Structure 1
């Protein structure tokens, strides 16, 4: 039996290694392309060929010295601002709602939770037109608030926090009430520290969602100065000019914040997903 388990583990490791290599191939190709001359990119496109003699830092020099590079770092700052506040408010409000569904019993709880599930299953594209009209009426077009506010409370995050909170020990809440702690005090001082794995997992997922979001910011933001990175990078290619050097080298640098975010929260990530997935 132990031999069979050992063989199964070996095959699983081989399979996961092959999958990891396949997944990393696009990033490898993009990294190599970032160091290739623009002429080679125009001639051959992004490929897997590695010619050490043709590699240089010219694309990154252009990124740090040109006007397009100045715009790129302005978009970078915009994306960081939007991602930070979106993730912060999403974790705060979604955790409060999910916590309420998970630990309290109140009239209409099941109906409200079903509505959350319905919103979670509704494609974002269906909501774009009414949300756009709402942003116009509220005067939030071409503002970061208009990008963040409509999705600051995420139904997926609510569902996740509800699953996690439903497995928390209720005895701690009773003990806190006996000591005179308010309901908000129970959450922020006792229950929230227990939910750190859930916060870590959702911080990564929500941060990645905001950082990579293109459609909604493209609709709300109008001026070049307010663009986020996905919009700005897509605007670099036009029929009248090519900025492949900025586009490729800039695309590589967009990965850095997400790597930092994952490294910062990785110890909570697996624990949060596992616990949130089995509690009900």
Structure 2
């Protein structure tokens, strides 16, 4: 009876996951199919599965690769900003989280409370003072203005602190006996052990940066500095909608995130679920 109940629960869970997957995949498939339709059909019918398969073609993608240079400028900007955000966020956030986890110093707990408080404050509330800082420093309309507020993310600091708290501290003592510096211990010993957490946070931070719309919209002013979300939004205007670029371009925005996940997928679940290194 117990085995039958377990089998029934397993089948129920599988069916539920399948239904959820279909709900998530449905709009993506609709967008993909629509990207092969003529723009005139999209203006009349919108995104739907009611299509004339004989009219499907690669014309929209051909237009993007041959006649839409501005799209690739936006694409490049998004890649650069997301890459900088991932690298700098992992570097600084991991150091802060690691220090909060393994070192004892005055004000440590208070500092961590501040991290938690900032984590609970919506970013939209902080945008105005952050924007005033960018203006006063004269760095608006630049990559650094978009990346700077994100390089020490509270959620990343919290995540790395929890992960580093489970690292074997005996390795630190052994390294100190061998004459290693604290920076050497972190970069040569502890940081490699944090690999799964780095991979998981790289995906999460990369996804957040790639889809970020409001903050770049606030600090970026010139068309040549637009990121993909902002650039694609400008294609919808009261005077006309460029569906040739909008729909097919939206499909192409999936590519970097898919590539990022493929590279780090084997570490993703481990990084989210493991509290440390066992052995």
Matched, 1:116 2:149: no
Superposed, which structure 2 residues align to 1:139-154 within 5 Å? 139-154=138-153
2:11 aligned with 1:10: yes
Deviating 4+ runs (over 6 angstroms)? none
Asked if 2 retains the 8 angstrom alpha-carbon contact of 1:198 and 1:276, the reply is no
Residues 75-90 of structure 1 aligned to structure 2 (within 5 Å): 75-90=74-89
Partners of 2:213 and 2:252 in 1: CA distance? 17
Within 1, Cα distance between the matches of 2:154 and 2:175? 29
CA-to-aligned-CA distance 1:161-183 (integer Å, 9 cap, x gap): 00000001111111111111111
Secondary structure in structure 2 of the residue aligned to 1:15: helix
Partner of 2:171: 172
Q: Which moved more, 1:97-106 or 1:196-205?
A: 97-106
**Residues of 2 paired with 1:187 and 1:48: CA distance?**
53
Q: Which residue of 1 aligns with 2:273?
A: 274
| TM-score calculated relative to the size of structure 1 | 0.96
The alpha-carbon deviation at position 190 of structure 1 amounts to 0.5
The match for 2:24 is 23
**Equivalent position of 1:42 in the other structure:** 43
Q: Which stretch shifts more, 241-250 or 3-12?
A: 3-12
**In the TM superposition, what whole-angstrom CA distance separates every residue of 1:34-78 from its partner, at most 9, and x where no partner exists?**
001111101111112243212111111211222xx1000011011
- Match of 1:221? 220
What is the CA-CA distance between 1:2 and the residue it aligns to?
Answer: 2.5
Structure 1 residue 96, shift from structure 2 partner: 0.2
CA contact (8 A) 2:142 2:225 kept: yes
Residues 161 and 276 in structure 1, CA contact (< 8 A), matched pair in contact too: no
Q: Could you give the per-residue CA deviations for residues 189-246 of structure 1, whole angstroms, max 9, x where no partner exists?
A: 0001110000000000000011000001001111011111011000111112220111
Deviations 1:116-157 (A, max 9, x none): 000011011111111111001111110100000111100000
For residues 11 and 181 of structure 2, the distance between their equivalents in structure 1, rounded to whole angstroms, comes to: 52
SS of equivalent residue, structure 2 residue 104? coil
List runs of 5+ in structure 1 lacking aligned partners: none
The SS at the match of 2:26 is: helix
Alpha-carbon deviation of 1:106?
1.4
Computed over aligned residues only, the root mean square deviation of the Cα atoms, in angstroms, reads: 1.4
Return the TM-score normalized by structure 2.
0.97
Whole-angstrom distance in 1 between the partners of 2:39 and 2:58: 11
Query: 2:257 corresponds to which residue?
Result: 258
